[in-house]
Amino acid sequence: MKLSEILIQSQIFNGLDESSIVHLLMHTHYQMKTYEKDEIVFHRNQDLNWCMLVISGSVRGEMSNIDGKILKIEDINPGRVIALAFLFGTNTKIPVSVVANCKTEILRINKVDFLRVMQNNTKILTNTLQLISDRSKFLANKLYFLSMKTIKGKYASFLLEQMYKDSLAINIQYTQEDLSEVFGITRPSLSRAIGELVSEKIITIKGKTIIINDMQSLKNYANQ
Amino acid sequence: MKLSEILIQSQIFNGLDESSIVHLLMHTHYQMKTYEKDEIVFHRNQDLNWCMLVISGSVRGEMSNIDGKILKIEDINPGRVIALAFLFGTNTKIPVSVVANCKTEILRINKVDFLRVMQNNTKILTNTLQLISDRSKFLANKLYFLSMKTIKGKYASFLLEQMYKDSLAINIQYTQEDLSEVFGITRPSLSRAIGELVSEKIITIKGKTIIINDMQSLKNYANQ
DNA sequence: CTTAATTTGTAACATATGTTACAATAATAA
DNA sequence: TTATTATTGTAACATATGTTACAAATTAAG
């Protein structure tokens, strides 16, 4: 697949046609870089001067502290720019770490070059503005999720988000280990919380399927 | 004080001269609105379609849940735009509530008008980009602060931030009540944590002055 | 199908933080 | 100064979450 064909589907170049993208690439310094599974793309508090677009594979943004506690922020899949929301601030230190989930190809554009492109192209600029704004909202909601909810509340919110078409049976594709990192808690604590929801007869678990028995109580836990 | 004189010092119009600002105002629909102390400017999850610039007074951004838990995000003082980082996203719901700290005057510009102004003025646009980017970083750091640190760690970080010119004596102007809302915890818990830092001889308290006795241990708690 | 690896449940205990209530102290107003 | 209000310290207890360890169950690999 040609690079421009991938870029045409990216968030940041959304709305541009292929010829514009090809033209942009010709006048920009860029390079491709490949990361292996679990390779660190950059560390929290490192300076970042690249606009990095995921071409293939996947990376994750996460925070960890000295005690080994891990908080996974999100996965970043092809077509998305890494740390876009942090790129134009007054200092260049990035507040998250980014790690490759698997073998991943990343397109790197020099930050100054990217700034120039953005200022010359209204579409890219409004895309950027919208993307950063959405990211701020994402972070603010994450803040609420992480510091205002109990573990049962987090799991309840998660289930309600995963619901599809009002069906009360939800198929879960994440392990408890995955979820505990996203919730910023330990795995046994999550397991206990789920066990309590089951013994309160609010949910029933059948393999990878969760059935909601008592929607009202679940919503109360999720406080929504 | 004339409106344009205030705006010239605002973050968003930073770098523009007075005549440009006067010209902008002439071609924009705006209005002034006054809020009394503790009046709600808008609620979490409310739709916002205004660019709101604080002219005088002060408001605070906060989150609260059904159980009455309050998490104060920050104070917003004159010259700053409220919720700027959330204004350009794909949905218009704002993830925080904003409340007036005291009698506050706010300049409201219609969001569509503001978008037009921004697109016609590179300086305002780059200002906006930088401000939103800084806000994202602020939120991400807040996330780390709130979910990766213990209470003692939060207070230690707070003290280290408050240090001025390597002086080991710090003057605190906040009450424990204030701090507990910013830390997202209860006041007695904060008091206990501070008491422990004192009995561990890491800090000494003399009225509103805190003296750091053991910088290394304090930094360990702050994990930095 | 069998074995190995991963995932989950769970128990016993440790620790951090919340809750409530009240006294001690400090700051402010009368 | 005195009275009032705001702030802080603190105790006793409740609850939520972390820690460690291991067995049971499930899934993947040979």
> In 3-state terms, what secondary structure has residue A51?
strand
Per-residue model confidence (pLDDT) at position B198:
96
pLDDT band, very low/low/confident/very high, at A207 (cuts 50, 70, 90): confident
Per-residue model confidence (pLDDT) at position B105:
96
Of the residues B127, B137, B157, the best mutation for testing chain A's interface (the one with the most A CB atoms within 10 Å of its CB) is B137
Contact assessment for residue A87 and residue A111, using Cβ atoms and an 8 Å cutoff:
yes
List, for residues B112-163, the tens digit of each pLDDT value. Answer: 999 889 888 889 998 999 999 999 999 999 999 999 999 999 999 999 999 9
- pLDDT of residue B188 exceeding 90, the answer is yes
Q: How far is the CA of A207 from the C1' of D26 (A)?
A: 9
Per-residue model confidence (pLDDT) at position A119:
83
Q: Give the C-alpha distances (Å, rounded to integers) separating A181 from A8, A72, A137, B31.
A: 33, 5, 21, 46
- pLDDT of residue B206 exceeding 80, the answer is yes
Token duo for residue B115: 């978008």
- pLDDT of residue A135 exceeding 90, the answer is yes
DSSP 8-state secondary structure symbol assigned to residue A9: T
Q: Stretch A189-204: mean pLDDT, rounded?
A: 97
Q: Higher model confidence: residue A166 or residue A183?
A: A183
List, for residues B64-77, the tens digit of each pLDDT value. Answer: 998 889 999 999 99
- The closest alpha carbon to B163, from B171, B154, B155, B174, belongs to B171
B93 to chain A: closest CA residue = A137
List, for residues B1-11, the tens digit of each pLDDT value. Answer: 678 888 999 99
Per-residue model confidence (pLDDT) at position A73:
97
CB B130 to CB A223 under 8 A? no
- The closest alpha carbon to B59, from B46, B48, B72, B71, belongs to B72
List, for residues A66-108, the tens digit of each pLDDT value. Answer: 888 999 999 999 999 999 999 999 999 999 999 999 999 999 9
Q: Which nucleotide is nearest to B198 (CA to C1')?
A: D9
Is A116 touching B (CB cutoff 8 A)? no
List, for residues B85-94, the tens digit of each pLDDT value. Answer: 999 999 999 9
Is B88 touching A (CB cutoff 8 A)? yes
Contact assessment for residue B48 and residue B96, using Cβ atoms and an 8 Å cutoff:
no
> Who touches strand C, with Cβ under 7 Å?
A 175-177, 187-188, 191-192, 194-195, 205; B 67, 150-152, 184-186, 188-189, 192-193, 207-208
Contact assessment for residue A146 and residue A138, using Cβ atoms and an 8 Å cutoff:
no
Per-residue model confidence (pLDDT) at position B192:
97
**Mean pLDDT rounded to a whole number for chain A:** 93
- pLDDT of residue B165 exceeding 80, the answer is no
Task: List the alpha helices (DSSP H) in B11-106.
Answer: 18-26
Per-residue model confidence (pLDDT) at position B221:
96
Q: Which nucleotide is nearest to B149 (CA to C1')?
A: C16
Per-residue model confidence (pLDDT) at position B4:
82
Strongest mean pLDDT among A22-26, A179-183, B115-119: A179-183
Per-residue model confidence (pLDDT) at position B94:
95
Token duo for residue A180: 């505990």
CB A143 to CB B148 under 8 A? no
Per-residue model confidence (pLDDT) at position B159:
97
Q: Report CA torsion sign: A107, A109, A110, A111.
A: negative
Q: How far is the CA of B152 from the C1' of D13 (A)?
A: 22
What's the gap in Å between the CA of B206 and the closest CA on chain A?
A: 32
What's the gap in Å between the CA of A206 and the closest CA on chain B?
A: 32
- pLDDT of residue A224 exceeding 80, the answer is no
pLDDT band, very low/low/confident/very high, at A8 (cuts 50, 70, 90): very high
Residue ranges matching CATH 1.10.10.10 in chain B: 149-221
Per-residue model confidence (pLDDT) at position A129:
92
Q: Which nucleotide is nearest to A184 (CA to C1')?
A: D17
Per-residue model confidence (pLDDT) at position A10:
95
Token duo for residue B43: 């609620």
Q: Which nucleotide is nearest to A149 (CA to C1')?
A: D16
Rounded Cα distance, B62 and B54, in Å: 16
What's the gap in Å between the CA of B180 and the closest CA on chain A?
A: 13
Kindly list the residues from chain B whose CB atom is less than 8 angstroms away from the CB atom of residue A97: none
CB A144 to CB B95 under 8 A? yes
Contact assessment for residue A77 and residue A23, using Cβ atoms and an 8 Å cutoff:
no
Instruction: Quickly name the fold that domain A149-221 has.
Output: Arc Repressor Mutant, subunit A (1.10.10)
**Mean pLDDT rounded to a whole number for chain B:** 93
> In 3-state terms, what secondary structure has residue A42?
strand
List, for residues A39-62, the tens digit of each pLDDT value. Answer: 999 999 999 999 999 999 999 999
Is B223 touching A (CB cutoff 8 A)? yes
Domain range B3-147, its CATH number among 2.40.50.140, 3.40.50.740, 2.60.120.10, 3.40.50.970: 2.60.120.10
Residue ranges matching CATH 2.60.120.10 in chain B: 3-147
Contact assessment for residue B160 and residue B174, using Cβ atoms and an 8 Å cutoff:
no
E-only strand ranges, chain B: 30-35, 40-42, 50-56, 59-64, 70-76, 81-82, 97-100, 104-110, 169-171, 203-206, 209-212
pLDDT band, very low/low/confident/very high, at A189 (cuts 50, 70, 90): very high
Scanning the structure block, which residue is given the tokens 């003290």? B159
- pLDDT of residue A137 exceeding 80, the answer is yes
